[in-house]
Chain A
Amino acid sequence: MKVLGKPRRRVDGRAKVTGQTRFADDIVLPRMLHMRLLRSPHPHALIQEIDVEKAKAYPGVHLVLTGKDFPVTFGILPVSQDEYPLAPEHVRYVGDPVAAVIAKDEQTASEALDLIKVAYSPLKTISSPEEALQNPEPRIHAYSELGNIHRLQAFEFGDAEESLRKSDHVFEDLFFYEGNTHLPIEQHAAVAAVDGEGKLTLWSSTQVPHYVHRALARVLQLPAAHIRVIACPNGGGFGGKTDICNHEMVAAKAAVLLGRPVKICLNREEVFYLHRGRHPVLMKFRTGVTKEGKLTGMHLQTLVDGGGYGGYGTASTFYTGALQTVTYHLPRYKFEAARVFTNKPACGPKRGHGTPQPRFGQEVQLDKIAERLKLDPAELRLQNLIKANSLTANWLKVGSIGLEECIRQVVERSDWKRRFRKMGTGKGLGLACGAYLCGAGLPIYWNKLPQSAVQLLVDRSGQVTAFCGATEIGQGSDDVLAAIVAEVLGIDPFDIRCVTGDTGITPIDLGSYSSRVTVMMGNAAIDASNKVRKLIAEAAAEQLEVVPDKLVFANGKVSFESKVLSFAEAVTLAEEKFGTLGALGSYKPPRGPGRYKGAGVGPSPAYSYTACVVEAEVDPATGWITVPKIWIAHDIGRTINPVLARGQVEGSVYMGLSEALMEEQVFRRLPPKLSGALVHKIPSLLEYKSLTSLDMPEVDTVLVEDPDPNCPFGAKEVGQGPLLPVMPAVANAIYDAVGVRIDELPITPDKVLRALEKKKKGESPRVGPEHFPVVPYPEPVIVAPPWEGGDGNASKGFERPRSHRAESISTFQK
């Protein structure tokens, strides 16, 4: 490798340290107007009347829009087209936009918002999953599957109940993971303008310009060919900019109507309302093990609090169970999930998308199992690891798996064997693992098209321009693109110009989500680069009188032994021979082996793996938790740029630790005299607690390289997977420190104190959910695992005594 694996400044590094990176709100256009949105103060209400006359007449106001101006709905998933740019009659959370003012400046627009009169007729508020289950009416959405249950899913891969029944032990545990939000420091912004040809351009802080493009065509009823969406570099995404946003649709419509550029930048409070963050999830795990600690089966139930709209929620719900099988061998697996609508900002994908919640439960439960069976938690995991190149019970195809090496690394580096359970009161170590997708196998709307493409333009000067729809959200996608093209063509990454995230001039990439960019864009980049390289090699070989395959492309030269051409000379020869040089490369993931309905969520070209050890100190007097050090090892397949890879791992550790200890998106009811509305408790950066530089522990990062054949040069993802083991490792470390189980996140000092008090009184030293409500899960889709003669299709049920439920060891019942 000439470029890959070497620590290097990222190609866009200079722009970022000089303030020259142009984020959406940095765009200023001549004659630009400014937009503000009026948002509902009610969590659930019908709009009776909106009077905008005074706002329209206010000096400096150019346009006022309401729901009447937007008859067409949108939504990121084809199955959830349930959002309006501005709500026409039904508002579903405090913050739901109902009107927009476009004025000469932000100040004027804000003043005019106050002049809009909206008459609401409040409806009963559904504030929690329990309330959603108890109150099928009033319906938050008419299309939900059952009352206020948005989606119900159930799968059974082999007779899991039978496996549990035959197990030596069945562990039954409840966990709760509170919702939290992405909190990118950049607030969402968008600028819309109509160009000289009468076509619409939208610049936006979005991770998914392609999907925004499609939504704009639908909502504005414009030809897609007349719309261009440019994803500006995002000032942090973490999934918070992967949905289609109301303000993007409204700004675009306003620009079309006014023929002038229109900008909106949300304020921080509005970013909390936009949300689309981590779903609150209640989980019940029933896991069978032999007395030696072999896992025999699992039954997982999840109850997912979706908030007011569908968004990605259907996919999120699948993800609360799809990846339980890719770390440890589960011979049989039953998974039931329900997502409910509530009158809160809609949840969606945040780093790890639906998988951190069940990963937390699974890894804490494994810690409990190890404790009970008197096994070392690391050994328990090692003896249950799935094999490389294998299928899982739910028909996921796993390629390379470097988890064993990851576990060995963190165990050794943290001196685990000498210190675990031996550190004395108040100090402890906890271990956990995780796995994540390297790109979702399927696009979010059904098609058989490429999911990423790269176009190369090679100039006779030797300049290479790489075009790709991929979106730079800070993770370094431009750097990955330049590095891979540079590696194949043997040139310097800094000699490549990246043009990305622009649906008007770059070929398709579905967006920066599901950790898909390195693998999908990377494979497309190799495809395009190889095509160009072949032409250059052929021409250069002719000139140098050698066989093309013998040529080496490195250090800006094309050479065979002493015969050398500069890259530019070789390009010129190729251009003489073949005409203007360029190539398109594209990539579509291999089809997953699952054939049952629901098999579309979970497949990926590859899976990344992580192991983590957390050291925690707990003050038994105050419950205060300090984390002095974290060891983490991530199987990245192959490292493209170790500087950036380490940044992704440590950024994940930071975000995971912050979620473990403090982050929560919570709501409260106002007192009755203040409307009784359900409002966001803390829509500000000061009150929404997150770790600062002072709280951040030392992190020992190891990159394990187990190249995956489906990945570019073997490179797997690194942006999301390393977050997953952090939260359970924190919980497990706290148990090691003070012997209490906090089975819900975040783990705050008050919960630790409560558990310590229970321990003192001789009660179960645990704080966490104590009840899982009755959820009307449907009959499961039954699929035989690969080792039980299955072919990936759903099969008919198997005979079994249904009432015969396995006896279990539960820690949550009093």
Chain B
Amino acid sequence: MAQRQHLGLTLNGEPAEVSFAPYKTLLEVLREDLGLTGTKHGCELGECGACAVLVDGEPQLSCLVLALECGGKTIETVEGMGEGAALHPLQEAFADLGAAQCGYCTPGILLTAKALLEKEGNPSRERIKEAISGNLCRCTGYQQIFEAIEEAARRMRDESPR
């Protein structure tokens, strides 16, 4: 077997180092080598969106990204969304409004939505639908997810300096 690889990256705002088998995907390295099991998997083929994380601020399916490609990059997972003990407004809204039922697709959708709201403070329902169209949810029927993203956007606009 090939030598374990070693690399450094910025993980949830902190410098991190990790060594891993070179064939591993970012998903596997996050879950298995860095112990961040908040990132989920539903297919490992890029079909379900459960494993979405932010790589340099962009949503990426971590099952399709080789960890080797992530040296020096900034990775954000669900574990890094809140500030200290305080939840991100998206997390608050998802919990309050029923957007997480089983909670399995939730981390991927939260991060995808976060990337959207960072670009657009007031996205339309259509934009939200489009943004999360790669994230499959079997529980909710999506309505409460749309509403939670809209509610989070509202809360974030109210809080942001004018």
The closest CB in chain A to the CB of B80 belongs to A19
Q: Is the CB of A17 within 8 A of B40?
A: no
> In the complex the two chains form, what is the Cα distance from A238 to B106 in whole Å?
17
Do A690 and B136 form a contact, CB below 8 Å, given A15-B103, A19-B38? yes
Q: Is the CB of B103 within 8 A of A235?
A: yes
Q: Is the CB of A699 within 8 A of B42?
A: no
For chain A, residues 201 to 250, give those with C-beta under 8 angstroms from any C-beta of chain B: 233-238
Do A18 and B143 form a contact, CB below 8 Å, given A185-B136, A235-B104? no
Is A187's beta carbon under 8 Å from chain B? yes
Smallest CB–CB gap between A681 and chain B, Å?
Answer: 16
Q: Is the CB of B138 within 8 A of A236?
A: yes
Q: Is the CB of B40 within 8 A of A23?
A: yes
Is A462's beta carbon under 8 Å from chain B? no
Q: Is the CB of B104 within 8 A of A19?
A: no
The closest CB in chain A to the CB of B38 belongs to A19
Task: Tell me which of A25, A475, A685 contacts B45 (CB under 8 A).
Answer: A685
Q: Is the CB of A694 within 8 A of B130?
A: yes
- Name the A residues within 8 Å of B21 (CB-CB): 107
> In the complex the two chains form, what is the Cα distance from A16 to B145 in whole Å?
13
Q: A646, A654, A693, A694 — which one has the most chain B CB atoms within 10 A of its CB?
A: A693
> In the complex the two chains form, what is the Cα distance from A686 to B136 in whole Å?
10
Do A267 and B87 form a contact, CB below 8 Å, given A19-B78, A650-B141? no
- Name the B residues within 8 Å of A186 (CB-CB): 40, 42, 102, 104
Q: Is the CB of B129 within 8 A of A183?
A: no
Task: Tell me which of B37, B48, B103, B135 contacts A17 (CB under 8 A).
Answer: B103
Binds B, one of A6-14, A143-151, A168-176: A6-14
Task: Tell me which of A12, A18, A650 contacts B144 (CB under 8 A).
Answer: A650
Contact with B along A128-147 (1 / 0, CB 8 A): 00000000000000000000
For chain A, residues 614 to 668, give those with C-beta under 8 angstroms from any C-beta of chain B: 643-644, 646-647, 650-655
Q: Is the CB of B139 within 8 A of A647?
A: yes
Residues of B within 8 Å of A, CB-based: how many?
Answer: 59
- Name the B residues within 8 Å of A238 (CB-CB): 138
> In the complex the two chains form, what is the Cα distance from A529 to B146 in whole Å?
37
Is B124's beta carbon under 8 Å from chain A? no
> In the complex the two chains form, what is the Cα distance from A476 to B95 in whole Å?
12
Is A21's beta carbon under 8 Å from chain B? yes
Q: Is the CB of B44 within 8 A of A268?
A: yes
Q: Is the CB of A685 within 8 A of B143?
A: no
Do A653 and B141 form a contact, CB below 8 Å, given A235-B104, A268-B45, A694-B133? yes
- Name the B residues within 8 Å of A14 (CB-CB): 87, 95
Q: Is the CB of A185 within 8 A of B82?
A: no
Q: Is the CB of A18 within 8 A of B91?
A: yes
Smallest CB–CB gap between A795 and chain B, Å?
Answer: 46
Q: Is the CB of A692 within 8 A of B133?
A: yes
The closest CB in chain B to the CB of A17 belongs to B91
Smallest CB–CB gap between B88 and chain A, Å?
Answer: 9
For chain B, residues 20 to 47, give those with C-beta under 8 angstroms from any C-beta of chain A: 21, 23, 31-32, 35-45, 47
- Name the A residues within 8 Å of B60 (CB-CB): none
Do A654 and B96 form a contact, CB below 8 Å, given A18-B79, A686-B47? no
Q: Is the CB of A17 within 8 A of B95?
A: yes
> In the complex the two chains form, what is the Cα distance from A643 to B101 in whole Å?
10
Q: Is the CB of B37 within 8 A of A647?
A: no
- Name the A residues within 8 Å of B136 (CB-CB): 185, 685, 690, 692
- Name the A residues within 8 Å of B47 (CB-CB): 268, 684-686
> In the complex the two chains form, what is the Cα distance from A654 to B105 in whole Å?
16
For chain B, residues 64 to 106, give those with C-beta under 8 angstroms from any C-beta of chain A: 77-79, 81-82, 87, 90-92, 94-98, 100-106
Q: Is the CB of B37 within 8 A of A19?
A: yes
Is A779's beta carbon under 8 Å from chain B? no
Smallest CB–CB gap between A327 and chain B, Å?
Answer: 23
Is A731's beta carbon under 8 Å from chain B? no
Is A26's beta carbon under 8 Å from chain B? yes
Do A13 and B144 form a contact, CB below 8 Å, given A236-B104, A268-B43, A694-B133? no
Contact with A along B1-37 (1 / 0, CB 8 A): 0000000000000000000010100000001100111
Q: B44, B45, B139 — which one has the most chain A CB atoms within 10 A of its CB?
A: B139
- Name the B residues within 8 Å of A16 (CB-CB): 94-95, 100, 102-103, 106
> In the complex the two chains form, what is the Cα distance from A236 to B92 in whole Å?
21
Q: Is the CB of A187 within 8 A of B129?
A: no
Q: Is the CB of B95 within 8 A of A474?
A: no
The closest CB in chain A to the CB of B128 belongs to A693
Contact with B along A694-727 (1 / 0, CB 8 A): 1010110000000000000000000000000000
Q: Is the CB of A234 within 8 A of B102?
A: yes
Is A745's beta carbon under 8 Å from chain B? no
> In the complex the two chains form, what is the Cα distance from A698 to B143 in whole Å?
8
Is A473's beta carbon under 8 Å from chain B? yes
> In the complex the two chains form, what is the Cα distance from A237 to B36 in whole Å?
24
> In the complex the two chains form, what is the Cα distance from A655 to B103 in whole Å?
17
Contact with B along A182-193 (1 / 0, CB 8 A): 111111000000
- Name the A residues within 8 Å of B145 (CB-CB): 693
Contact with B along A579-596 (1 / 0, CB 8 A): 000000000000000000
Q: Is the CB of B23 within 8 A of A107?
A: yes
Smallest CB–CB gap between A660 and chain B, Å?
Answer: 14
> In the complex the two chains form, what is the Cα distance from A458 to B133 in whole Å?
46
Smallest CB–CB gap between B156 and chain A, Å?
Answer: 15
Smallest CB–CB gap between A504 and chain B, Å?
Answer: 23
> In the complex the two chains form, what is the Cα distance from A711 to B45 in whole Å?
44
> In the complex the two chains form, what is the Cα distance from A646 to B95 in whole Å?
14
Is A803's beta carbon under 8 Å from chain B? no
Q: Is the CB of B98 within 8 A of A185?
A: no
Is A547's beta carbon under 8 Å from chain B? no
Is B52's beta carbon under 8 Å from chain A? no
> In the complex the two chains form, what is the Cα distance from A654 to B94 in whole Å?
19
Is A28's beta carbon under 8 Å from chain B? yes
- Name the A residues within 8 Å of B23 (CB-CB): 107
Do A233 and B102 form a contact, CB below 8 Å, given A185-B136, A185-B138, A699-B143? yes
Smallest CB–CB gap between A29 and chain B, Å?
Answer: 13
Smallest CB–CB gap between B103 and chain A, Å?
Answer: 3
The closest CB in chain A to the CB of B88 belongs to A17
Task: Tell me which of A10, A647, A693 contacts B135 (CB under 8 A).
Answer: A693
Contact with B along A449-493 (1 / 0, CB 8 A): 000000000000000000000000111100000000000000000
Q: Is the CB of A647 within 8 A of B48?
A: no
Smallest CB–CB gap between B87 and chain A, Å?
Answer: 7
> In the complex the two chains form, what is the Cα distance from A686 to B43 in whole Å?
9
> In the complex the two chains form, what is the Cα distance from A655 to B138 in whole Å?
7
Q: Is the CB of B100 within 8 A of A236?
A: no
Do A693 and B98 form a contact, CB below 8 Å, given A17-B91, A23-B40? no
Is B61's beta carbon under 8 Å from chain A? no
Q: Is the CB of A693 within 8 A of B78?
A: no
Smallest CB–CB gap between A440 and chain B, Å?
Answer: 22
Do A19 and B141 form a contact, CB below 8 Å, given A186-B42, A235-B40, A693-B129? no
Is A447's beta carbon under 8 Å from chain B? no
- Name the B residues within 8 Å of A646 (CB-CB): 98, 144
The closest CB in chain A to the CB of B24 belongs to A107
- Name the B residues within 8 Å of A698 (CB-CB): 143
Q: Is the CB of B96 within 8 A of A685?
A: no
Q: Is the CB of A26 within 8 A of B42?
A: no
For chain B, residues 95 to 145, give those with C-beta under 8 angstroms from any C-beta of chain A: 95-98, 100-107, 110, 128-130, 132-145
Is A20's beta carbon under 8 Å from chain B? yes
> In the complex the two chains form, what is the Cα distance from A303 to B132 in whole Å?
40
Task: Tell me which of B35, B87, B130 contacts A18 (CB under 8 A).
Answer: B87
Is B54's beta carbon under 8 Å from chain A? no
Q: A234-B102, A696-B142 are in contact. List 11 more A-B contacts (CB 8 A).
A: A13-B96, A17-B87, A17-B95, A18-B87, A185-B137, A235-B40, A268-B47, A651-B101, A685-B47, A694-B130, A696-B143
**Closest 9 A-B residue pairs measured CB to CB?**
A19-B38, A474-B102, A16-B103, A235-B104, A654-B141, A13-B95, A650-B141, A685-B47, A19-B78
User: Could you jot down 10 A-B contacts, CB within 8 Å?
Assistant: A10-B98, A12-B103, A17-B78, A18-B91, A186-B40, A644-B98, A655-B141, A685-B47, A693-B128, A694-B130
